[in-house]
Amino acid sequence: MVGHQPQFMPYIGVLNKISKADVYVIVDHVQFVKKYFHNRTYIKVHDAAQLLTVPVLIKDESFAPINQIKINHVDVWKRKHLKSMRLAYQHSRSFDRYFGKIEDIYSKRHEYLCDFTSELLIFFLREFELVEDVRISSQLQVTGKKTDLLVELTRAVNGTTYLSGEGASDYFDEAAFSASGYRHAFNRFQHPVYPQLGHTFLKGMGCVDLLFNCGRDGRKYIVNPEAYLS
């Protein structure tokens, strides 16, 4: 199984990790981090990375869990995002097939950031034919922190092995996890090179870049990135 915080159209390294699991848990009950990818992503516009941000309402960013963060609908951010995506990808291979579907998700008035980003993510998981079993951590009655949280998530979904991203090595307690009786592994990801509009390939773009440029064929770059490193 894999757990990961909900991100706004995350880069494909996140999807690579999710693709290796039979259960994916959207970890929505942990702390929101300002100026992080919970509400930000990158798209490629004319060979440059452009940041898209979903504006949010934050009363106390030090303690607010992600699933309690509300979207600030005063700004015209939706129109700006869609305009930027159209400008960036209107000549891409799969723009006509997918832009309307993404526009439909944008057209809904989601109150909470997590509802919006999770619906988008599940859309990408479906289109790339990745994991189908998606759970929500706030519905699993887990309370632990760091390594204890990973153990609790694994237990809650009747898992046997937890797959972490490499960033988890900063806080992961191997002895504590081993004592739980579950197995653990770190995901190793190398960014593939895929067909992309423009003259210079940019790594780290949101997964919408891969979908517009490659359509469902983009799945191979997610599940087998080592075959497309150059």
What confidence score (pLDDT) does residue 62 get? 60
What confidence score (pLDDT) does residue 115 get? 97
Q: Which of 198, 8, 204 is nearest to 88 (CA)?
A: 198
| Cα–Cα distance for residue pair 138/152, rounded to 1 Å | 12
Q: For the chain, which ranges sit under pLDDT 70?
A: 60-62
Structure tokens that stand for 4 in this block: 């990961």
| Cα–Cα distance for residue pair 184/150, rounded to 1 Å | 9
What confidence score (pLDDT) does residue 16 get? 97
Question: With 0-12 CB in 10 A as exposed, 13-18 as middle and 19+ as buried, what is 137?
Answer: buried
DSSP 108-138: S--SBHHHHHHHHHHHHHHHTT---EEEEGG
Which residue ranges make up each domain of the chain?
2-224
| Cα–Cα distance for residue pair 22/152, rounded to 1 Å | 17
Taking only the tens place, the pLDDT of each residue in 158-209 is 999 999 887 777 778 888 888 999 999 999 999 999 999 999 999 999 999 9
Query: Is residue 80 within 8 Å of residue 106, measured between CB atoms?
Result: no
